[in-house]
Amino acid sequence: MDRIHVTVRARPLPPEDAQSSPWRISGNAVALTAQPSIRFEFDRIFGEDCHTADVYGARTKHIVDSAVQGFNGTVFAYGQTNSGKTYTMRGSANEPGIIPLAVHDLFRTIQQHMDREFLVRMSYMEIYNEEINDLLVPEHRKLQIHENYERGIYVAGLSEEIVTCPEQVLKFVSFGESHRHIGETNMNVYSSRSHTIFRMVIESRDKADDSDTDSCDAVRVSVLNLVDLAGSERAAKTGAEGVRLKEGSHINKSLMTLGTVIKKLSEGIKGQGGHVPYRDSKLTRILQPALGGNANTAIICNITLAQVHADETKSSLQFASRALRVTNCAEINEILTDAALLKRQRKEIEELRAKLKSELEKERIALELEEERKAKEQREKRLLQQAKKIENLSSLVLNSERDDRAIVSSKNKRRQTWCARPLSNEFSVEVQEPASEQGSASSSVRDERNMGMPPCFEELMQESYASNVEPSAHGYSFSDLSNEDVSLPDAHALLHVTSRRKPNTMKKSDQEQLRGSVPELPQDPNEQKDAMLSQEPSGLSARESEAILVIKQLQDQVNSLELEKSLIQNNLDDVLEVATQQKASFTEKYEELQKNALALQEEAKIAGEKLSALATIAKSKQELADEFLSNVSMETQGISVQMDQTTHSVDNAISFIEELFQSLSAIAENVTEFKQSSYGHIKQSSYMIMDHEKMSKTLMEKISRLELEKDCILQHELEKDNILSELLTLQKEVLTLSSSSLMKEKESIRKELERTKTKLRETDNKLKNYVQEKIKLEVLFCTQ
Ligand SMILES: Nc1ncnc2c1ncn2[C@@H]1O[C@H](COP(=O)(O)OP(=O)(O)OP(=O)(O)O)[C@@H](O)[C@H]1O
């Protein structure tokens, strides 16, 4: 988990603004001088004198390097209008911006990865008034955002150019720039009226050929976005009206959504399964992977330290500060083909096999150690038995010594002649030798003994042994014991077994003491015998002296056996201790190895199952592919024939389509013109219809009024006719009354007539006017 890296860059101020700046930068923190509590700390803060290359080095360089390795990366410049975002991203004639620096760096890094081959594509788009336009193909407008499992979130129809060098990329960028929406505001002569997203898609795979089993066919695909956002603005400051005002409101709206998304992410809403409104604006939807998703993201927050923009700067810093708390989780984006997957699995299985082999080897060693331990235990057991035997023997010898003394004391009472029976062990040899030297005398003595003479030394020993030891309890007899003594392991041999662990622990003084208890005897048995005879008290017979000599020798042997016994005992203790320790550690090791072996067996089993499953899949796929290939080759042949035929017709069709396309575009233009003009006409017509409706309404009213007046006129006509008829009758009456008396009457009638005539004229005029008006209205009505 990596959090968004935030860098702040303050643009240079004119000297008069610098004097009155309310902000103070110290280290990686910026605070209001008057209110030190309003303080913001970031990963890096760059002052007015910094270079864009320093800003690039702070984080973007790392993001570019990671993009080459397969990690997605996004860097965007945020800030109010005129704070220097475009200057930072695009740069100027004197100072290259983040985009050119990143492009050069990207190709440089690619060249360093000699073991991989790369394919780089680029695209350039703008979001203008919430519409996505392709800056590389300006005709591609109002593009839509889509999302699917394979491509994630993408802009459908956005063109991508394959690029091989930085110069090529920058050429495309310049072309795109020329189609970007830029406008003049009170704050910036070249103010960006849209958000632009410059995107590079980097694909790479191992260069190694197919025969290389260590290589993997996985393809890494990463996306690097460099975003120049439009600046937040206040209409009052920018003086935006009309189109600019509309642009400004779209810019502010999308930046507000970006702010909300960052706020929600910084509060950990996403982690709690809450809703993050990525879809509320095109900007946040496109940048969704960079905001709390799979990408390394950095924000360059551009600010101005001028007093007049303190509020805007504070709100930019608040946004940036929230962004600091947003975490992303970038990981290498790898696409694995079936073959690559199979190769990788095979490699894993081989590794597991090797591991299993080594573990089995360990197990074998453990078993060997176990066997050795068992053998050691048996050896120890035998040693113990032998030690016991030695103990028994020593007690036996001591008893015999005591019995010998008893025999010697009884000799004074009873004169007896005896000779030791030939001993079966090595001691007897030593005794026999001097006896044989005495010739026939000794052999006769032996015969005597056999013929019921007093019991010999051996018999005495047997008796004393029988009185002290119960052979049945131990399961062996004296003769067994004497025989086994011969097979006793050499004490030095035993010492040799353990000497590498512990030296002889018996003190030298003890050994000497032990030796001192036995009188020193010459090495040669004859000399020993003579020495004994010289030492023996006078009055002892030769046989008695011999017996004493034998006893002394036996004593000697017993002592040396005692010594050996104690040495053996010591060694035995050591061996036991070492064996116990070894046993414990071996058991531990054995258990551990057994566990490992079991786990590995399990892993191997799973791997084997996987391998067999994959093998079956591969086999079935291979079969299908073979079948498909044979079908395809047949079809291809047929198709190639058809292709030849159709190529010609396609060429014709293409030319026809081109013509059609031209005529269609002409038609489309005409249609657009017609649409535009008809739109005006329709509008006009609708106004006219409304006027006509109004007019016809008034005309109808007028007509009804005229109808009424016509009725009046008809009445007047009738009246006129009546008057005319009255007039005619009056004229007739005048003619008839042409007498003097009637002169007065005539005069009055004439006056009456005159009045009637004027009345008639007036009515006539009125009628004429009405008729004219009616005709006019009827004409008007007909034309409408
Ligand atoms: N660090 C800087 N050094 C020198 N000049 C700068 C710096 N930053 C910005 N300017 C200058 O300030 C002016 C405005 O910068 P620019 O157009 O990059 O701002 P903007 O934030 O992109 O604005 P708008 O959001 O309106 O597009 C430009 O003339 C630019 O050359």
The answer to the question of whether 86 is labelled as a binding residue is yes
Residue 751 has a pLDDT of: 86
Ligand 1 mutation pick, 87, 127, 233, max ligand atoms within 8 A of CB: 87
- C-alpha dihedral, 567 to 573 to 579 to 582, nearest 10°: -110
Residue 489 has a pLDDT of: 42
Residue 268 belongs to some domain of the structure = yes
Q: Are 590 and 364 in contact (CB under 8 A)?
A: no
Distance CA 66, CA 747 (A): 128
As a whole number, mean pLDDT of residues 139-163 equals 92
pLDDT digits (tens, 9 = 90+) for 675-686: 777 777 777 777
pLDDT digits (tens, 9 = 90+) for 743-756: 777 788 888 888 88
Strand partners, 300: 7, 77
Residue 673 has a pLDDT of: 76
Q: Is the pLDDT of residue 493 over 90?
A: no
Chain-centroid distance of CA 544 in Å reads 100
Residue 25 belongs to some domain of the structure = yes
Q: Are 495 and 504 in contact (CB under 8 A)?
A: yes
Residue 469 has a pLDDT of: 42
The answer to the question of whether 79 is labelled as a binding residue is yes
- At 418, the pLDDT band (50, 70, 90 cuts) reads very low
The binding-site residues of ligand 1, defined as CB within 6 angstroms of any ligand atom, are 11-12, 79, 81-87, 92, 188, 190-192, 230-231, 302
Quickly list DSSP for 575-643: HHHHHHHHHHHHHHHHHHHHHHHHHHHHHHHHHHHHHHHHHHHHHHHHHHHHHHHHHHHHHHHHHHHHH
Higher model confidence: residue 596 or residue 256? 256
Ligand 1 mutation pick, 88, 92, 188, 305, max ligand atoms within 8 A of CB: 188
Q: Are 156 and 164 in contact (CB under 8 A)?
A: no
ipTM, two decimals, is: 0.98
Q: Is the pLDDT of residue 69 over 60?
A: yes
- Which of 157-171, 258-272, 489-503, 562-576 comes out lowest in average pLDDT? 489-503
- At 441, the pLDDT band (50, 70, 90 cuts) reads very low
Distance CA 76, CA 98 (A): 10
- At 55, the pLDDT band (50, 70, 90 cuts) reads very high
The answer to the question of whether 257 is labelled as a binding residue is no
Residue 1 has a pLDDT of: 75
Q: Is the pLDDT of residue 560 over 90?
A: no
Distance CA 85, CA 97 (A): 10
- At 643, the pLDDT band (50, 70, 90 cuts) reads low
Q: Is the pLDDT of residue 412 over 60?
A: no
Atom of ligand 1 nearest to the CA of 88: 18
Q: Percent of the chain having pLDDT more than 90?
A: 31
pLDDT digits (tens, 9 = 90+) for 74-96: 999 999 999 999 999 999 989 99
Residue 135 has a pLDDT of: 95
- Rg (C-alpha) for the chain, rounded Å, is 63
703's CB contacts (< 8 A; 6+ apart) are 777, 781
Residue 313 has a pLDDT of: 94
As a whole number, mean pLDDT of residues 300-325 equals 93
- At 323, the pLDDT band (50, 70, 90 cuts) reads very high
Hey, is 698 helix, strand or coil? helix
As a whole number, mean pLDDT of residues 562-579 equals 82
The most confident of the ranges 163-167, 376-380, 592-596 is 163-167
Residue 66 belongs to some domain of the structure = yes
Residue 71 has a pLDDT of: 95
State the CATH number of the domain containing residue 250.
3.40.850.10
Q: Is the pLDDT of residue 782 over 70?
A: yes
Atom of ligand 1 nearest to the CA of 9: 1
* Run of H or E residues at 266: helix 242-266
Distance CA 345, CA 357 (A): 18
Supply the range of the domain harboring residue 237: 2-209+226-333
- At 420, the pLDDT band (50, 70, 90 cuts) reads very low
Residue 146 has a pLDDT of: 94
Q: How many domains does the chain have?
A: 1
Q: Is the pLDDT of residue 224 over 60?
A: yes
Q: Are 417 and 453 in contact (CB under 8 A)?
A: yes
Number of Cβ atoms within 10 Å of the Cβ of 161: 16
Residue 503 belongs to some domain of the structure = no
Distance CA 222, CA 217 (A): 16
Atom of ligand 1 nearest to the CA of 90: 18
Sign of the alpha-carbon torsion through 710, 711, 714, 716: negative
- At 495, the pLDDT band (50, 70, 90 cuts) reads very low
Q: Distance, CA 191 to ligand 1 centroid (Å)?
A: 9
pLDDT digits (tens, 9 = 90+) for 10-27: 999 988 888 889 999 999
Residue 160 belongs to some domain of the structure = yes
- Which of 86-95, 193-202, 526-535, 757-766 comes out lowest in average pLDDT? 526-535
Distance CA 68, CA 339 (A): 24
The answer to the question of whether 85 is labelled as a binding residue is yes
Q: Is the pLDDT of residue 471 over 70?
A: no
Residue 641 belongs to some domain of the structure = no
Average pLDDT, the chain: 78
- Which of 37-41, 169-173, 343-347, 467-471 comes out lowest in average pLDDT? 467-471
Q: Which phi and psi (to 5°) does residue 651 adopt?
A: -55, -45
Q: Are 295 and 2 in contact (CB under 8 A)?
A: no
pLDDT digits (tens, 9 = 90+) for 153-172: 999 999 999 999 999 999 99
Strand partners, 124: 198
Residue 132 has a pLDDT of: 95
As a whole number, mean pLDDT of residues 44-54 equals 95
As a whole number, mean pLDDT of residues 290-307 equals 93
- Single-letter code of the amino acid located at 364: R
Q: Are 305 and 80 in contact (CB under 8 A)?
A: no
Residue 424 belongs to some domain of the structure = no
By the 10 Å C-beta count (0-12 exposed, 13-18 middle, 19+ buried), 378 is classed as exposed
Q: Distance, CA 88 to ligand 1 centroid (Å)?
A: 8
Q: Is the pLDDT of residue 610 over 70?
A: yes
Q: Is the pLDDT of residue 528 over 60?
A: no
For 601-632, letters b (16+ CB in 10 Å) and e give eeebeebeeebeebeeeeeeeeeeeeeeeeee
pLDDT digits (tens, 9 = 90+) for 681-701: 777 777 788 887 888 788 888
Q: Distance, CA 708 to ligand 1 centroid (Å)?
A: 79
The most confident of the ranges 97-106, 333-342, 719-728 is 97-106
For 382-433, what is the HEC assignment?
HHHHHHHHHHHHHHHHHHHHHHHHHHHHHHCCCCCCCCCCCCCCHHHHHHHH
Q: Is the pLDDT of residue 189 over 80?
A: no
Residue 419 has a pLDDT of: 42
Work out the widest C-alpha separation in the chain, in whole angstroms: 245
DSSP state of 309: G
Residue 506 belongs to some domain of the structure = no
Residue 738 has a pLDDT of: 61
* Run of H or E residues at 378: helix 338-411
- Which of 60-69, 133-142, 497-506, 568-577 comes out lowest in average pLDDT? 497-506
Q: Which phi and psi (to 5°) does residue 544 adopt?
A: -65, -40
Atom of ligand 1 nearest to the CA of 192: 27
Residue 498 has a pLDDT of: 40
The answer to the question of whether 80 is labelled as a binding residue is yes
Distance CA 705, CA 47 (A): 86
Q: Distance, CA 87 to ligand 1 centroid (Å)?
A: 5
Distance CA 722, CA 737 (A): 22
Kind of pairing between the strands at 73-79 and 296-303: parallel
Q: Is the pLDDT of residue 29 over 50?
A: yes
* Run of H or E residues at 228: strand 219-228
Token match 């976005």: residue? Answer: 225
Q: Is the pLDDT of residue 409 over 50?
A: yes
Distance CA 777, CA 773 (A): 6
Q: Is the pLDDT of residue 522 over 50?
A: no
Residue 212 has a pLDDT of: 55
Q: Distance, CA 99 to ligand 1 centroid (Å)?
A: 15
Q: Is the pLDDT of residue 210 over 70?
A: no
**Among candidates 543, 252, 563, which has minimal Cα distance to 416?**
543
